[in-house]
Structure 1
């Protein structure tokens, strides 16, 4: 697509110039020209002095072959992408303009009909937008199946640790990005939050696929308590110990919660909400006895919730 964009300028470019602008060898540039021809683009050779390549008649970008539902999906996705990826606002706007220019007129109206403003509500447990460059680098390593070296923030006062991992899958869950990877040093599987990853560098060393625990990367992320989560910055945050195993609580805990095993079949759950009574309500959804509740505001909210619910348990409460 980059080569096609360069040729769309209408000028004749030598193979050397194309290679320089693409940052590749002349052989790679020739191969890319052949690929465009195989895709049906009229890339013509120009012989003689000053020769090279140019885009012939009918070689401009064709209308995209999209139906109404696909146009709507693309328009909405581009307008909401910046909520989860940082630094791509301008790229998203330019991509939306490009889509609008190349789709047929009848579909342009569908794209124009969807102008969205993204406003998170109080129950979305928001996470900060992720650096698009990190997603791009890690995603490329996953796709190419090459070993990745990265820095990982583990809340250590000494600073981030350097990890060498086999990146197998990217998983987005609860609006948070996770990398399912096999750590070569620890010789074990791990789940890394991408917003804790820095300086991802592909080593070029290939690796073979390994069977992911649980057979499903999404399920593995959900059931892993130690996945690098941090408590979301809510007005009220608290913790309590539940008589439930950590993998089960991790699977159903809302985004922005932290789960820590504290014994056989028990775990500490830390999370936040917009009010103490709202937070107490979140804990009760697990249907488990709670203990070691902190802070006092959360304990008071549990007491208030118990008094409010007492009437529902009294004889004759159901009319």
Structure 2
């Protein structure tokens, strides 16, 4: 029979599988009597774990949510996943750093080496960390979304302009290592996107509201259009001699089918050189529909390349 501390840890590990265990099943797993199981359950409750018990032939024990945060038991894979995950969300102020420090201090040597090896082998696509965001702000916004309560906050725009907003919050989105709030701006009667690190919440919250249908029918589609297209100063519209299925997924833009062998490609950018590079990599014929400046730029590039390949 296991000693009491080891038995309690084993019991807690079984209860954390989120299923109902009968006293008999637990007793068999632990090699003790059902009376000992009841005493061990009481000990765990004294440590802060909420363990529900139900009577009857289908009754048993189940771990519930408690009023405090007792210690958690993680297996090897869970510990590595949590540690690496905390490294990737360091933008949520120092809270993730504190949690990461506590977990790493408790990792056995074999797992610590796994975490170090995994971190050294992973390359972040974004070289810069996002701006720090307070966990309390994310929690407050999430609670308002769940309760359908309006938010009142001061906001600083990209250009430094300050304003006071009243918003019906819809969703929080983590995009490109930055946190955004998507919501209905009451005063402007339109959907807006706000950087959470530029939000200073005011209390109390605004009035209750009924959630609207998301813009574009889906928040992800809306953000792809808003952040992946509308934020750029230049537009290019090209007629591609390839099907939409051949182009979609190979380029960041809006692809609209014309027929089985032709589609329209709209690209948002800050440089026509990037457009030339993008369509050149696609390897299909195309025509420029707009703007005229792009057509002139491509003609200049074609002359430059032609001169570079001319024989002496």
Match of 2:82 in 1: 74
Match of 2:102 among 98, 101, 113: 98
Match of 1:10 in 2: none
Match of 1:64 among 45, 70, 73: 73
CA deviation vs aligned residue, 1:55-91 (integer Å, no higher than 9, x gap): xxxx9954523451x3332222222323xx2743xx4
Contact 1:180–1:192 (CA under 8 A) maintained in structure 2: yes
Query: Which segment is superposed worse, 284-293 or 203-212?
Result: 284-293
State how far apart, in whole Å, the 1-side matches of 2:47 and 2:124 are: 47
State how far apart, in whole Å, the 2-side matches of 1:113 and 1:137 are: 36
State how far apart, in whole Å, the 1-side matches of 2:179 and 2:303 are: 36
State how far apart, in whole Å, the 2-side matches of 1:191 and 1:214 are: 14
Give the drift of 1:206: 3.1
Contact 1:163–1:183 (CA under 8 A) maintained in structure 2: yes
Q: How does 1:1-319 map to 2 (within 5 A)?
A: 40-42=45-47, 61-68=70-77, 70-82=78-90, 85=91, 87-88=93-94, 91-102=95-106, 107=111, 110-116=114-120, 124=126, 129-133=130-134, 135-154=138-157, 159-194=161-196, 197-204=198-205, 205-224=207-226, 229=231, 239-242=234-237, 252-253=252-253, 269-271=268-270, 280-282=276-278, 289=288, 290-293=290-293, 302-303=301-302, 307=306
Higher percent of residues as helix: 2
Contact 1:86–1:132 (CA under 8 A) maintained in structure 2: yes
Contact 2:185–2:191 (CA under 8 A) maintained in structure 1: yes
RMSD (Å) for aligned C-alpha atoms: 4.9
State how far apart, in whole Å, the 2-side matches of 1:42 and 1:220 are: 47
Q: Secondary structure at the match of 1:280?
A: helix
User: Gapped runs of 5+ residues in structure 2?
Assistant: 1-41, 49-67, 240-247, 255-263
Total equivalences in the alignment: 223
Give the drift of 1:154: 4.7
From the superposition, tell whether residues 149 and 39 of structure 1 become closer, same or farther in structure 2 (CA, over 3 Å).
Answer: farther
State how far apart, in whole Å, the 2-side matches of 1:100 and 1:267 are: 47
Give the drift of 1:181: 0.5
From the superposition, tell whether residues 302 and 101 of structure 1 become closer, same or farther in structure 2 (CA, over 3 Å).
Answer: same
From the superposition, tell whether residues 280 and 75 of structure 1 become closer, same or farther in structure 2 (CA, over 3 Å).
Answer: farther
* TM-score, length basis structure 1: 0.50
Q: Secondary structure at the match of 1:224?
A: helix
From the superposition, tell whether residues 207 and 105 of structure 1 become closer, same or farther in structure 2 (CA, over 3 Å).
Answer: farther
Contact 1:154–1:228 (CA under 8 A) maintained in structure 2: no
Give the drift of 1:253: 4.8
* TM-score, length basis structure 2: 0.51
From the superposition, tell whether residues 170 and 113 of structure 1 become closer, same or farther in structure 2 (CA, over 3 Å).
Answer: same
From the superposition, tell whether residues 180 and 224 of structure 1 become closer, same or farther in structure 2 (CA, over 3 Å).
Answer: same
User: Gapped runs of 5+ residues in structure 1?
Assistant: 1-36, 44-58, 232-237, 255-264, 312-319
State how far apart, in whole Å, the 2-side matches of 1:243 and 1:38 are: 70
Contact 2:172–2:182 (CA under 8 A) maintained in structure 1: yes
Give the drift of 1:129: 1.5
From the superposition, tell whether residues 112 and 40 of structure 1 become closer, same or farther in structure 2 (CA, over 3 Å).
Answer: farther
Q: Secondary structure at the match of 2:150?
A: strand
State how far apart, in whole Å, the 2-side matches of 1:228 and 1:203 are: 33
Q: Which has the larger radius of gyration?
A: 2
State how far apart, in whole Å, the 1-side matches of 2:216 and 2:43 are: 42
